[in-house]
Structure formats: structure tokens, C-alpha cells
């Protein structure tokens, strides 16, 4: 089972722009493409292999035929034949709606879905571009509801100015929004459940306001003010730097100026590489895949050794 690349699943969004094309080199004609889903088994949006003799095969088909070979035994014991994470690149030309995601328990009860814990790695940001992450003070449910009624929710939001390399971990329940001018890599649980609570009163192409999920969000929001979202991580070159290690995924940062070889025979998980800078050749015992900034490769769990050949690359390495 060789390193697998997949066709990106491109999503037009009201807030999307052209950075996926202009910065990441995606083949896109639209000027409002907001998301490139790199690895997905979300129903209706399942990734399809683009390289090698498995080209044209869906990720779900591969998992169904050899779940332990693709995912790893420990992963299948937890998630069965479901791919547990969703990988995206996101380009926000305009502010995204202010939103949050329910936890596993609530998402299962209401939507028969996983919750949505996620992380962001900033790849490009316009000057003074920012994110909304959490509240700027302790807020009660009553205060929050009143701010919606009075159209003053923005007064309660915490704004974080960002630049390339900044990384954020977004717990379930944390209110958040990606601001205009931000291009980022997103790693999240496999879930498309989002509660939108404020959309700047924008209208879609048909002149309609987008649906809000005001009532559903009330019991899903974490109203505490917590400074737990900005990820401080080492950036030592030519080694593996841990960024996030949570129950749903582990992400490492690699800034390589030379080749790197890893023995991963005891990993018992697939490995994903998202290229967030430069380019590299990534190989296992059965083949090699070339990736450059804006591309992603999946290394099946059967990989015993992973070799990365590069003269300069920044990679996010994701495992379970």
C-alpha cells in the first residue's frame, strides 16, 4: 500500500476567495472557493485516490476492503470503518460566521455524529487579519442571549491577530470564527455539525439570510473565558515537534532542510502529511508521492518506514 494522494473536494462559500488557487495552486476557476477538503469520508463528500494503480478508488472503499491496513488496528477498535478525522485548507476572503461545535455526547444525541474538536495552522494572513476565539470575559447564558437580541455579540468576542505559523486548538463548545484574510490548514474530527449563531446579517446569492442555530447552541456553548486556545510549540528544524496531542488526533510540526527517515512500525495508525510550505517526496516500502505546499498525502498504517526527501519543506504530521 503506497502513499496515497486524493483529489481535493472544492467548496464554494459565501465568504470564500482565491487564495486556494493563488497561494496553494489549486486548479480552481471560481473566485469564491472557501474550502478544499483534502481527506474526507463525510457522506456525499468522500475523497477519491488520484495517484497510482488505486486511482479512482474512494477512501471509504479502501477502508472497507482493509480497515486495519489503512487505519491501524487500534484505530479500527475505536472507530470501526470510519475515517476519524477530516482534513481541509480554508480561505476566508470575508469573515466566517461566528459558530461553535457540540461535543461528542450532544452530537451523538442530536445528529448521530461525532462532535467537532479541531485545530488551525495559519498558512497566510493579510496584515491585521484576526480570528475570533472565545469570549473576552466571563459570560452567562442570559448575557449571551441578551447580546444576540441587542445585536451586541461582537462586544463579547475575543479577537486574536494572527500570522503565519500561529496555531490554535478549538475545543467543542468554544465560540469562534475565522476572520477575513486568513488562509489556514484545519484538522478536525470527522463531523460537519456546526451551530451558526451570528453571520453579520449577510445575505446569500439569492438574497436570503443564512440559517442560524440559536436555540441549539445555547446548551452547547462553553461560556467561560479560557486562555487555552493558542498553541505554543517548538520549531526546531529537522526534527519532530509536538503541536497538539488530544484524544482525537496528534499533530507534529516538521520544518525540514534535509531528509528525514522514521521507523513507524509500532505506530499502529495511518499518518497524514499536509504540506504547508516547500515541497517533499514522501515514501514507504511500496512507493513515493511528491507533495508541495497545499497538498496532502495519506500513509497507510501498513507503512513500517517513512522517508521524507526534501531540501526545504514545512509539514504537519497527523496521526491518531
Burial class (CB in 10 A: 0-12, 13-18, 19+), 148: middle
Task: Say whether pLDDT at 202 is over 90.
Answer: no
In angstroms, the CA 137 to CA 147 distance is: 13
Provide CB contacts within 8 A for 287, sequence distance 6+.
Answer: 2, 3, 52
| Residue labelled with grid coordinates 515514501 | 283
- Taking residues 10-39, report their average pLDDT: 96
| Residue labelled with grid coordinates 486511482 | 55
In angstroms, the CA 246 to CA 249 distance is: 6
The span from the first CA to the last CA of the chain, in angstroms, equals 19
Domains and CATH numbers, the chain: 9-218 (2.60.120.10), 241-319 (2.60.120.10)
User: Helices (H) and strands (E) in the chain — how many of each?
Assistant: 7, 20
Which range among 103-112, 142-151, 216-225 shows the weakest confidence by mean pLDDT?
103-112
Among the listed residues 7, 3, 14, the one whose alpha carbon sits nearest the alpha carbon of residue 271: 3
291-312 per-position pLDDT tens digit: 999 999 999 999 999 999 999 9
Q: Within 13 Å and on the Cβ side, how many CA atoms surround 63?
A: 23
Alpha-carbon dihedral sign for residues 10, 15, 18, 19 = negative
In angstroms, the CA 34 to CA 38 distance is: 13
Task: Say whether pLDDT at 164 is over 90.
Answer: yes
Residues classed as catalytic:
196
Task: Say whether pLDDT at 191 is over 90.
Answer: no
Cα Dmax for the chain: 61
Amino acid at each position: 500500500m503506497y502513499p496515497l494522494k486524493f483529489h481535493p473536494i472544492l467548496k464554494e462559500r459565501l465568504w470564500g476567495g482565491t487564495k486556494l488557487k493563488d497561494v496553494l495552486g489549486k486548479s480552481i476557476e471560481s473566485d469564491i472557493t472557501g474550502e478544499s477538503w483534502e481527506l474526507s469520508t463525510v457522506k456525499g463528500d468522500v475523497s477519491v485516490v488520484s495517484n497510482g494503480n488505486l486511482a479512482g478508488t474512494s477512501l471509504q472503499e479502501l477502508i472497507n476492503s482493509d480497515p486495519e491496513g489503512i487505519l491501524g488496528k487500534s484505530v479500527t477498535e475505536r472507530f470501526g470503518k470510519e475515517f476519524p478525522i477530516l482534513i481541509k485548507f480554508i480561505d476566508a476572503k470575508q469573515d466566517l460566521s461566528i459558530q461553535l461545535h457540540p461535543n461528542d455526547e450532544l452530537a451523538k444525541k442530536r445528529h448521530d455524529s461525532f462532535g467537532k474538536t479541531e485545530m488551525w495552522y495559519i498558512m497566510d494572513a493579510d496584515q491585521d487579519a484576526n480570528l475570533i476565539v472565545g469570549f473576552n470575559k466571563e459570560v452567562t447564558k442570559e448575557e449571551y442571549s441578551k447580546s444576540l437580541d441587542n445585536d451586541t455579540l461582537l462586544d463579547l468576542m475575543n479577537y486574536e491577530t494572527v500570522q503565519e505559523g500561529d496555531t490554535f486548538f478549538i475545543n467543542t463548545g468554544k465560540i469562534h470564527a475565522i476572520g477575513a484574510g486568513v488562509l489556514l490548514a484545519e484538522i478536525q474530527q470527522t463531523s460537519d455539525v456546526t451551530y451558526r449563531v451570528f453571520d453579520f446579517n449577510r445575505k446569500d446569492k439569492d438574497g436570503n439570510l443564512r440559517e442560524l442555530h440559536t436555540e441549539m447552541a445555547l446548551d452547547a456553548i462553553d461560556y467561560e473565558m479560557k486562555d487555552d486556545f493558542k498553541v505554543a510549540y517548538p520549531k526546531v528544524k529537522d526534527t519532530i515537534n509536538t503541536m497538539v496531542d488530544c484524544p482525537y488526533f496528534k499533530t507534529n510540526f516538521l520544518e525540514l532542510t534535509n531528509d528525514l527517515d522514521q521507523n513507524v512500525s509500532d505506530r499502529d495508525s495511518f499518518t497524514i502529511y499536509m504540506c504547508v510550505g516547500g515541497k517533499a517526496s514522501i515514501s514507504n516500502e511500496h512507493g513515493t508521492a511528491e507533495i508541495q505546499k497545499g497538498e496532502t498525502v495519506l500513509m497507510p498504517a501498513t507503512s513500517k518506514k517513512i522517508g521524507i526527501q526534501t531540501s526545504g519543506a514545512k509539514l504537519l504530521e497527523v496521526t491518531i
